[in-house]
Structure 1
């Protein structure tokens, strides 16, 4: 075991206790990937870090980040010969994960977790390709995975751990009678967890090219950011500031109704700032992206975090992006927006989803198009960039609804054109995820779950959005079903048109900045 090619974070001189595997979205043996960056698997890295600090030799194989095919991924796992292989199961990658599992050496025990495992545990346990599955972990896995690495037989006392009884052919479940300890295992105190060991993440931190938001910020604030970072780009890292979400957007796997077991917790400001500074000291990171739902999604959280950011002069040292809730930001005062800017806020990612108030209500977004435009205007007036996410082809969507979304996107672009902050539109075709509220609605309406799980590529080239425009094209996939009254071909042509327009705007902005 002198070498572990592409395995991140493991000690190659010691036997491998566990290899955490992020499956590729596609079999890249069949079609090489066209982009060179994918979002890091922070949840998996958290579990690996905790296990490592508990004394186990573990590594991460991010097959998506490396663009690996199914056969190559399975071979790498078998060559590494870990005691356990661990996979995070997501609906779009489940087929890839199952095909990898089917090729693993029978001597390697398999454990799985993730949204798909939680939403469809019996389906996963019954899959013959998962014959060596010895533990299915529901929810947050740090403490329970470490316990499994200590002794597989401990699964009997681990809450939320399932497996298939080979003799009876039934599902077995771990039970812990100590309710307090059970709650700790299911929802650990996130302020006591170690900071993620970035050695497990092959693409995080990373060197980012300067963005249009960086350039606009440099101009609007009258000075190059962070000693010229706006000219040269930042070293960036992704970070999680909280776990859980109190909202119930019908299409989202994080919806509160789909995760009643998840305690909503926010990291203490000092804990977060400690990680920012540690990443800066070790890797020179000067820009951060908060990828959780709550960092700018709850008023009291914003107030608490920004008070600490001000005290630690974060805005003088770093810039950062975060996800946000439109209805929450609509209540934020101009003074609070000024403080966000002073504390380094660069861009907010907003789930805008639609320009149709009717569809927004069906989605349970608790917003309307007028509110979105009002919030976006105030953000860009303060020099804060906006990245808006949109869904086309939602169940029940009509031609008028799609046209409302197209008008909405153009309205937002016009707002950006007259203000220091930029607005970017990221548009996707609707796809259903098991466990979400809309999934249940679709199944009750007569849709076959197997058809709803048949994810495949969306080829936008014939509609004018070529591969070079798609950047992270792993997000363009579909189940190929028309869910509204608009034909799928029209949905995709609209998606391609908006994608091309955003690409042209990006190119025009770069030319103007040059």
Structure 2
């Protein structure tokens, strides 16, 4: 029997209006999942929450990735649940998984899709014969338009940014927008959206094991909360503080050139704090991770948010992590950094990407390696951890560029070793995403889209035997193309070496704190 209990947030006594399906990253019928945790599908949960709490629909989420479900099992479960609609978030690396699930769905179930891949390649998706049940492709933010589709499929004709395939003519059809409501439909007021119903997220909040940053903070800041967290970890929840990004990093699906329809909006600090308080009251959450593109991405926003955090004493009760922009943080003075510390900032995730200024320029990062080192040093001196993201194998990258990145990472580790804040390095192999600036560069240079879309998973874990690689299962994808001067085997061996070194650093910190 299908495990209907894996569907979260739905009322089993009522007809299911929609089942939101997060496809697995790979077919786990063929190789079991090795990572223990996957990032929650907050965007999907936002849409499900709006449909349920504002419009009264009975909806559920099936996170096949979180549950480690295979393709056949996922399709079987959706069919057994018998929703009126199945809704899928299409991402380039998992598109094949989604399409295979869609092909296995009962013809009685209408299909709607959205997500980065649907937005970047709508005609390709609409023409895919496996998407025969596809009745609506939603471009961009979906809360209001998905709810309208659940109310009446025929409303798609009046909804902006909704596409479908005319079955008689075989052509693409699109909703004709009402100019009076179009902007609100495409970009809802994020301060009026209900807080995400965590019933839709099977792994959020979750108990996180203590990290090196937690242990260092317990020593440097010394509060009861941090001392306890260093022993048992925090109960953590993910949260979104803004939508949109003003930057145009060449590899990023959130690049402004790929999302001209997205208006950059920041939630009111009182609305954010209300969600923090609600999560603490309901679940006991004491740590939060802001996963939007750039929570610490504009000086004006940082000042406004921190003023509110100070008024509410957030740093006295909680810690939080956030994404940040290196060139913005570089302009903050020491007083502003100290205010971040006093307000509970634990760690900043930075897109460092490379130690080569030549590659950083090609990526349009608007930073250089010296700036990164300066910012990282100031952060760890203040006891703020840094999680740096790095890309190896970017188009045009040379052996010297990769060596510069390796030196850069090890130099940042060395800086952290003499300061209260930690530096964690997370290294990825470059893969192209449709709609991004670099995608156009590659296709203009003659790369065939079909080959650029041929994502395959790479098992760096040796079937789970290599403990240092276990949590990388979620991120190890490749299209198998050498884009720079460095062979893929060398790119991957460098990635594995750095990942193992980071794992050894984590273990050493853990043992030192024991």
Considering the TM-score relative to the shorter chain, is it more than 0.5? yes
Structure 2: give runs of 5+ residues left out of the alignment.
none
Taking the TM superposition and a 5 Å limit, the aligned residue runs for 1:74-93 are: 74-93=75-94
C-alpha displacement at 1:244, in angstroms?
A: 0.2
Q: Deviations over 1:184-241 (max 9, x none)?
A: 0000000000000000000000011111111100101133325722321111000000
In structure 1, distance between residues paired with 2:218 and 2:224? 5
- What corresponds to 1:153 in structure 2? 154
- What corresponds to 2:230 in structure 1? 230
Instruction: Provide closer, same or farther for how the CA distance between residues 197 and 307 of structure 1 changes in structure 2, counting only shifts above 3 A.
Output: same
C-alpha displacement at 1:461, in angstroms?
A: 5.2
Q: Deviations over 1:148-182 (max 9, x none)?
A: 000000000000000000000000000123x2310
In structure 2, distance between residues paired with 1:2 and 1:105? 15
Contact conserved, 2:468 with 2:499, CA < 8 A, in 1?
no
Other structure's SS at 1:490 match: helix
In structure 1, distance between residues paired with 2:148 and 2:406? 51
Contact conserved, 1:481 with 1:488, CA < 8 A, in 2?
yes
Bigger mean CA deviation after superposition, 1-10 or 129-138: 1-10
- What corresponds to 1:170 in structure 2? 171
Taking the TM superposition and a 5 Å limit, the aligned residue runs for 1:349-360 are: 349-360=349-360
Instruction: Provide closer, same or farther for how the CA distance between residues 2 and 490 of structure 1 changes in structure 2, counting only shifts above 3 A.
Output: closer
- What corresponds to 1:500 in structure 2? 500
- What corresponds to 1:141 in structure 2? 142
- What corresponds to 2:433 in structure 1? 433
Structure 1: give runs of 5+ residues left out of the alignment.
none
Contact conserved, 2:413 with 2:423, CA < 8 A, in 1?
yes
Contact conserved, 2:326 with 2:367, CA < 8 A, in 1?
yes
Other structure's SS at 1:180 match: coil
Contact conserved, 2:460 with 2:469, CA < 8 A, in 1?
no
Contact conserved, 1:34 with 1:467, CA < 8 A, in 2?
no
In structure 2, distance between residues paired with 1:92 and 1:139? 18
Q: Deviations over 1:58-109 (max 9, x none)?
A: 0000000000000000000000000000000000110000000000000000
In structure 1, distance between residues paired with 2:3 and 2:212? 41
In structure 1, distance between residues paired with 2:226 and 2:506? 23
- What corresponds to 1:192 in structure 2? 192
- What corresponds to 2:20 in structure 1? 20
Taking the TM superposition and a 5 Å limit, the aligned residue runs for 1:216-365 are: 216-225=216-225, 228-365=228-365
- What corresponds to 2:373 in structure 1? 373
C-alpha displacement at 1:433, in angstroms?
A: 0.2
Contact conserved, 1:2 with 1:12, CA < 8 A, in 2?
no
In structure 2, distance between residues paired with 1:155 and 1:232? 50
TM-score normalised to structure 2 length: 0.98
Instruction: Provide closer, same or farther for how the CA distance between residues 288 and 254 of structure 1 changes in structure 2, counting only shifts above 3 A.
Output: same
Contact conserved, 2:2 with 2:76, CA < 8 A, in 1?
no
- What corresponds to 1:131 in structure 2? 132
In structure 2, distance between residues paired with 1:84 and 1:435? 27
Q: Deviations over 1:462-493 (max 9, x none)?
A: 7x992553314110110000000111111111
Give the paired residue count. 513
- What corresponds to 2:96 in structure 1? 95
- What corresponds to 1:120 in structure 2? 121
Other structure's SS at 2:355 match: coil
Contact conserved, 2:120 with 2:434, CA < 8 A, in 1?
yes
In structure 1, distance between residues paired with 2:238 and 2:262? 22
Contact conserved, 1:348 with 1:385, CA < 8 A, in 2?
yes
- What corresponds to 2:65 in structure 1? 64
Q: Deviations over 1:220-278 (max 9, x none)?
A: 11333257223211110000000000000000000000000000000000000000000
Bigger mean CA deviation after superposition, 470-479 or 306-315: 470-479
Other structure's SS at 1:238 match: strand
Instruction: Provide closer, same or farther for how the CA distance between residues 234 and 461 of structure 1 changes in structure 2, counting only shifts above 3 A.
Output: closer
Taking the TM superposition and a 5 Å limit, the aligned residue runs for 1:478-497 are: 478-497=478-497
Q: Deviations over 1:105-160 (max 9, x none)?
A: 00000000000000000000000000010000000000000000000000000000
In structure 2, distance between residues paired with 1:146 and 1:358? 46
Contact conserved, 2:211 with 2:506, CA < 8 A, in 1?
no
- What corresponds to 1:513 in structure 2? 513
Aligned Cα RMSD in Å? Answer: 1.6
TM-score normalised to structure 1 length: 0.98
